[in-house]
Chain A
Amino acid sequence: MFLKVQLHWNVIIPPDNLDAKGLMLQRSIIVRLLEEFANKKATKDLGYFTALTTLEKIGEGKVRQNSGDVLFPVDFTCITFKLFRGEIIQGEVDKILKHGVIVKCGPVESCYLSHQKMSGYQYVPGENPVFMSDKLAKIDKGVSLRVMVLGTKWMEAERKFMALVSIDGDFLGPV
């Protein structure tokens, strides 16, 4: 679920942010790194970038000839979030459909739980539709669900993951 990753990125600092005092320059590099980290959102291999933990090293800057920007190689450690098949996760029901449920789990906004993967539950229509089990357990909008990941798909265009989940198994279902 959570991965600790060490990465090596290049941070570009425009000339007007360069400062003779090293402290201001370091601040500019960190701010720029945080901006890029936030904009990156996610990658197929590492998942969603959630937190930058430590800045290991700032390398020697290289000046770009045409623009005057300075490129600093940066080593840092961060935490990423990626779903794996077979993993047990906890999410919140976002949408109730006739044939299943859309579950949100952290940064993954679309985890689809099909009615075929929720044995013993029946769709109950109404103004606020729900799935109700034989044992009167209720899957309603906003309910916390413990689910198992069946598969994930990386969407390159939107830079996000989609997932398929199931509650067929021991200790899975509404929390």
Chain B
Amino acid sequence: MFIVCRGHGFWLMLLLVNMICQFYSSVKRRKVESSGYVEEIQESVSVTSVGRGSGKSREKDKCSHPGVFSQMCYACGEKIEEDSGVTLRYIHKELRLGSDELARLRTKDVKNLLRHRKLYMILDLDHTLLNSTGITDVAPDEEYLRNPPNYMEGSLFVVPKMPIMTKLRPFVRDFLKQASSMFEMYIYTMGDSHYAAAMASLLDPKKEYFDARVISRDESTQKHQKGLDLVLGQESAVVILDDTETVWSRHMDNLILIERYNFFASSCRQHKIPCKSLAELRTDESESDGILATVLQVLKRIHCAFFKDLGDDPADRDVRQVLRSERSEILKGCKIVFSRVFSLYVQAETHILWRIAEGLGATCCTEVDPSVTHVVAADAGTEKARWAVKENKFLVNQQWIEAANFLWKRQPEDNFPVKPPKNT
């Protein structure tokens, strides 16, 4: 029994040892395989990391230097000496962006802005949002402004450091508040940076509307001209509000021309306006239906028209087309003949009034015919003017076109009568 048992035990032991050996060898094999696999992984990792490293060094070698901060490329840290790209001094005096980077940022930013149903708006300061005069230039009839009446509180300021007196245009605070929900706003002025900063703090003391987006002539890239090269937005989404057309020669299609705000006598003298200033007359523009209130309605129309059709991608739309089509509706259906408004030696088609009228949707011609609706004359005694009266056509002076141009609305013709002939 014992022997049998011992025999059984022996075989059992042998079986057990055999199983253990098999198990151990398989484990060993598996370990070797797995370690081989690990080695392979490590090898591939090291290869890829080397690859990545070399890629990085290659990347660094061919860094496109998208932008420069304090003469260092902000992507690779390399010192950059040459002055390429655009310096955005108004953001930071040491920041310069390359043209490719600017284009990329603009594309990205415009998508972001359009997603929030906003456009860009560039605002001029002087004669658009406010009017300033030197303290020493105050006219005798304006002396009362040194101790201003109560109704001017919050709109008339003295900036002693300059030293200037500034009057904010009526409705400007409401205008900025309402416009900020539709536009990302920039200030762009021909004044220097100190003046621009001082005026921006009067208009926007809490930095809600403009923040650092205040561009002055010190940051401008071209003398006596304004441009959109400093604006981080695409031209197709920019609306410009300015009282001076000539400074925007490259971006006329984006411009909404606004009537000048000449509150002080010095401004009237500057623009050769032979009449008393608003301050001298102790009056001001209306809050409710003044120029800024009117322009705000225009901006609302433009904003609404731009975002109206949600079918296509807003990034494919162009605000300049919206501006053109809105303008072309103002005098649509009007056929205009001019009489003694411009010199005989000037080609009629090139005259500014002719071009404005056509831009407003009117048809202009040189000779009268039954289809003519308006005669714009400088004198009621001309042949064409008399024809207009006889044929019961509208007879208006040239300010009728100018008013429609500024107010973006056809004006009542009765408000623009033509002076009677001088000899009567």
| Docked pose: A99 CA to B92 CA in angstroms | 12
Contact A151 B232 (CB under 8 A): no
| In the complex, B417 has a CB within 8 A of chain A | no
Contact A153 B72 (CB under 8 A): yes
| In the complex, B285 has a CB within 8 A of chain A | no
Q: Report the minimal beta-carbon distance from A40 to chain B, rounded to whole angstroms.
A: 21
Q: Give the residue name and chain of the B residue nearest to A152 (CB).
A: B72
| Docked pose: A152 CA to B76 CA in angstroms | 12
Contact A98 B69 (CB under 8 A): no
Q: Give the residue name and chain of the B residue nearest to A163 (CB).
A: B70
A98-B105, A98-B232 in contact; A155/B97 too (CB < 8 A)?
no
| Docked pose: A85 CA to B97 CA in angstroms | 22
Q: Is the interface of B mostly helix, strand, loop or mixed?
A: loop
| In the complex, B414 has a CB within 8 A of chain A | no
Identify B71's interface contact among A97, A99, A100, A153, CB under 8 A: A153
Chain B residues within an 8 Å CB radius of A99: 67, 97, 105, 232
A99-B97, A99-B105, A164-B72 in contact; A150/B91 too (CB < 8 A)?
no
Contact A112 B95 (CB under 8 A): yes
Count how many pairs of residues, one from A and one from B, have CB atoms less than 8 Å apart in the complex.
60
Q: Report the minimal beta-carbon distance from B304 to chain A, rounded to whole angstroms.
A: 21
| In the complex, A42 has a CB within 8 A of chain B | no
Q: Report the minimal beta-carbon distance from A62 to chain B, rounded to whole angstroms.
A: 41
Chain B residues within an 8 Å CB radius of A150: 72, 74, 76-77
Give the contact stretch, choosing among B108-116, B275-283, B365-373.
Answer: B108-116
| Docked pose: A85 CA to B76 CA in angstroms | 11
Interface 0/1 of B93-131, CB less than 8 Å to A: 011010000000100010011001000000000000000
Contact A116 B69 (CB under 8 A): no
| Docked pose: A112 CA to B93 CA in angstroms | 12
Q: Give the residue name and chain of the A residue nearest to B109 (CB).
A: A98
| Docked pose: A116 CA to B94 CA in angstroms | 17
Chain B residues within an 8 Å CB radius of A38: none
| Docked pose: A100 CA to B91 CA in angstroms | 11
Chain A residues within an 8 Å CB radius of B184: 125
| In the complex, A127 has a CB within 8 A of chain B | yes
**Residue of A95, A117, A150, A155 with most partner-chain B CB within 10 A:** A150
CB neighbors of B among A90-125 (8 A): 95, 97-100, 102, 110, 112, 114, 116-117, 123, 125
Identify B74's interface contact among A98, A100, A123, A155, CB under 8 A: A100
Chain B residues within an 8 Å CB radius of A97: 91-92, 212
Identify A85's interface contact among B71, B77, B95, B208, CB under 8 A: B77
Identify B92's interface contact among A112, A123, A125, A155, CB under 8 A: A112
| In the complex, B75 has a CB within 8 A of chain A | yes
Q: Report the minimal beta-carbon distance from B200 to chain A, rounded to whole angstroms.
A: 16
A98-B109, A102-B92 in contact; A116/B75 too (CB < 8 A)?
yes
| Docked pose: A102 CA to B95 CA in angstroms | 11
Chain B residues within an 8 Å CB radius of A95: 212
Chain B residues within an 8 Å CB radius of A7: none
Q: Report the minimal beta-carbon distance from B215 to chain A, rounded to whole angstroms.
A: 15
Contact B92 A116 (CB under 8 A): no
Q: Give the residue name and chain of the B residue nearest to A86 (CB).
A: B77
Chain B residues within an 8 Å CB radius of A110: 70, 92, 94
A85-B77, A164-B77 in contact; A116/B91 too (CB < 8 A)?
no
| In the complex, A137 has a CB within 8 A of chain B | no
Chain A residues within an 8 Å CB radius of B76: 150
Chain A residues within an 8 Å CB radius of B69: 112, 114, 162, 164
Chain A residues within an 8 Å CB radius of B92: 97, 102, 110, 112
Chain A residues within an 8 Å CB radius of B71: 153
Q: Report the minimal beta-carbon distance from A142 to chain B, rounded to whole angstroms.
A: 15
A114-B67, A114-B69, A164-B74 in contact; A125/B113 too (CB < 8 A)?
yes
Chain B residues within an 8 Å CB radius of A116: 66, 74-75
Q: Give the residue name and chain of the A residue nearest to B78 (CB).
A: A151
| Docked pose: A153 CA to B212 CA in angstroms | 24
Chain B residues within an 8 Å CB radius of A125: 112-113, 116, 184
Chain A residues within an 8 Å CB radius of B232: 98-99
Q: Give the residue name and chain of the A residue nearest to B207 (CB).
A: A127
Q: Report the minimal beta-carbon distance from B182 to chain A, rounded to whole angstroms.
A: 14
A contacts, CB < 8 Å to B: 85, 95, 97-100, 102, 110, 112, 114, 116-117, 123, 125, 127, 150-151, 153, 155, 162, 164
20 A-B residue pairings within 8 Å (CB atoms): A97-B91, A98-B232, A99-B97, A99-B105, A99-B232, A112-B69, A112-B70, A112-B92, A112-B94, A112-B95, A114-B67, A114-B74, A116-B66, A117-B74, A125-B112, A150-B77, A151-B77, A151-B78, A153-B71, A162-B94
